[in-house]
């Protein structure tokens, strides 16, 4: 067996209603001044109310930093760090989607640290000790609660990653009740993002490993079996819980067997056109997987067996059945199917392709090499 390493969050709690008891856990961690990092949508949905009441009952000081925006820019992280320092916060809770969790990770890392944000981009550049950190996902999702990475939008339209084991939280808390009100189109896009994490982890060229493989398969099984129900019957708690667990398993998989071409080509779409992360992945998924088919047919066939357990036939046929299933998913779930629908035209493609080639951190994981001409063709195919 090829040697490999696997890292994940050390405590994962799956419990309906657990967020409303969060203060009890925080008291056990001996923290006295807590900052919850979230966004206006999560606050407006009323998701923090029970949690905040619990803190009040136990007399633990708590503040809410709710300035997070999608694809968080550096300025938001810097102002969050400043707020945490002013407060003297001794514990950070990320409560929301990937955007809120990523911002919480960086605040916990840098609020009590000599290092500046600009110094921690890249792999293992972060040093020192972070504040205690709990992550509570309300989308299913990015899996950020179990990944050692935070994504920041730098400048106008570039994304950079901070990758460090310090970003793995002390606790990931999966409370499916929080996801009941997630709108159908967000459920669809974030759910497809999680499916892409599972698929790209399974085909990851450099760091594919047996633990990630098992997790990726189980994740795809859960996600594909529940995404339609979660979108159509949002109050189905069992489907919601399966989605949340599926996105967490996919997160554990890709945290150790990193994602590739779909994410590399999706990032410029998100950064330049403010298309949500999950949707931009969904838009690029079909073209990139078909491009990869030449080199990843057997792996896609193995994944097809998870989605269609009764399917038979040659690997080529099974692989194609997976790709066809994924191709139809966006339409079935009622989200955009083409780049044009999100305002992108042929004239934008050279810039997008150029930007995608800068995502070398991701491109090196793709099962088939992607060159500039390939990226251009893949965007054209997705128009
Ligand atoms: N760290 C990682 O491993 C990782 C992986 C993938 C993506 N990301 C990053 O995560 C971000 C995307 O995260 P996301 O897709 O979870 O979206 P998001 O965090 O940007 O949230 C999307 C929207 O959904 C709303 N929302 C969230 N939960 C809700 C709920 N339960 N009910 C009602 N509304 C709710 C939010 O208010 C927001 O408007 C991007 O910045 C992306 O780069 C990080
Ligand atoms: Fe993603």
Over the stretch 221-256, which tens digit does the pLDDT of each residue have? 999 999 999 999 999 999 999 999 999 999 999 999
Residue nearest to ligand 1 atom 8, measured at CA: 98
- pTM metric for this prediction: 0.96
**What's the Cα-to-Cα distance from 173 to each of 20, 119, 133, 137, 368, rounded to whole Å?**
11, 29, 11, 7, 36
Closest listed residue to residue 50, CA positions, set 27, 18, 15: 18
Q: What is the pLDDT of residue 156?
A: 75
Report the separation in Å between the CA atom of 149 and the middle of ligand 1, taken as the mean of its atom positions.
14
Which atom of ligand 1 sits closest to the CA of residue 159? 43
C-alpha of residue 376 to centroid of ligand 1, in Å: 28
Q: Does position 158 have pLDDT exceeding 80, yes or no?
A: no
Q: What confidence tens digit (pLDDT) does each residue in 190-223 have? A: 999 999 999 999 999 999 999 999 999 999 999 9
d(CA 344, CA 115): 38
Q: Ligand 1 test: best mutation among 64, 70, 160, most atoms within 8 Å of CB?
A: 70
Per-residue pLDDT tens over the stretch 49-72: 999 999 999 999 999 999 999 989
pLDDT for the residue 369: 98
CA nearest 154: which of 86, 106, 95, 91?
A: 106
pLDDT score, position 207? 96
278 lines ligand 1 (CB under 6 A): yes
Binding site membership of 203 for ligand 1 (Cβ less than 6 Å):
no
Is residue 148 classed exposed, middle or buried when 0-12, 13-18 and 19+ CB atoms within 10 A define those classes?
buried
Mean per-residue pLDDT of the chain: 96
pLDDT tens for 334-343 read: 999 999 999 9
Residues with CB under 5 A from ligand 2 (ion): 193
Strands 33-37, 11-14: pairing is: unpaired
Report, as an integer, the average pLDDT of 12-38.
96
Q: Determine whether the shortest distance from the Cβ of 45 to ligand 1 is under 6 A.
A: yes
**pLDDT at residue 128, as a whole number:** 87
155: three-class secondary structure by DSSP: coil
pLDDT in tens, 73-93: 999 999 999 999 999 999 999
Confirm or reject: Cβ of 70 under 6 Å from ligand 1.
Answer: yes
């Amino acid at each position: 067996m090829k040697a490999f390493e696997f890292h994940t969050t050390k405590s994962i709690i799956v419990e309906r209603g657990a967020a409303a008891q969060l203060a009890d856990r925080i008291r056990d961690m001996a923290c006295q001044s807590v900052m919850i990092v979230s966004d206006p949508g999560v606050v407006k949905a009323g998701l923090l109310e029970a949690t905040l009441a619990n803190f009040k009952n136990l007399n633990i000081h708590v503040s809410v930093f709710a300035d997070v925006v999608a694809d968080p820019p550096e300025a938001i992280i810097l102002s969050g760090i400043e707020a945490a320092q002013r407060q003297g916060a001794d514990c950070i809770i990320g409560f929301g989607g990937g955007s809120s969790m990523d911002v919480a990770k960086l605040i916990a890392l840098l609020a009590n640290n000599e290092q500046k944000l600009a110094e921690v981009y890249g792999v293992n550049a972060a040093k020192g000790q972070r504040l205690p950190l709990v992550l509570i996902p309300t989308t299913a999702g990015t899996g950020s609660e179990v990944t050692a990475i935070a994504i920041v939008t730098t400048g106008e339209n570039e994304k950079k990653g901070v990758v460090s084991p310090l970003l793995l939280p002390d606790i990931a808390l999966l409370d499916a009740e929080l996801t009941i009100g997630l709108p159908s189109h967000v459920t669809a896009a974030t759910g497809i993002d999680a499916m892409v994490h599972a698929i790209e982890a399974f085909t990851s060229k450099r760091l594919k490993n047996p633990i990630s493989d098992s997790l990726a398969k189980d994740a795809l099984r859960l996600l594909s079996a529940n995404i339609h129900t979660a979108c159509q019957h949002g109050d189905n708690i069992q489907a919601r819980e399966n989605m949340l667990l599926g996105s967490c398993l996919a997160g554990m998989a890709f945290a150790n067997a990193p994602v590739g071409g779909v994410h590399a080509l999706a990032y410029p779409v998100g950064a330049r056109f403010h298309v949500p992360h999950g949707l931009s992945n969904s838009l690029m998924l079909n073209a990139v997987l078909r491009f990869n088919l030449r080199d990843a047919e057997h792996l896609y066939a193995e994944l097809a067996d998870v989605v269609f357990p009764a399917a038979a036939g040659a690997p080529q046929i099974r692989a194609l059945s997976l790709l066809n299933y994924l191709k139809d998913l966006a339409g079935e779930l009622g989200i955009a199917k083409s780049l044009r629908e999100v305002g992108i035209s042929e004239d934008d493609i050279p810039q997008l392709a150029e930007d995608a080639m800068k995502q070398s951190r991701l491109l090196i994981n793709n099962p088939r090499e992607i060159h500039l001409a390939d990226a251009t063709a893949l965007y054209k195919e997705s128009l």
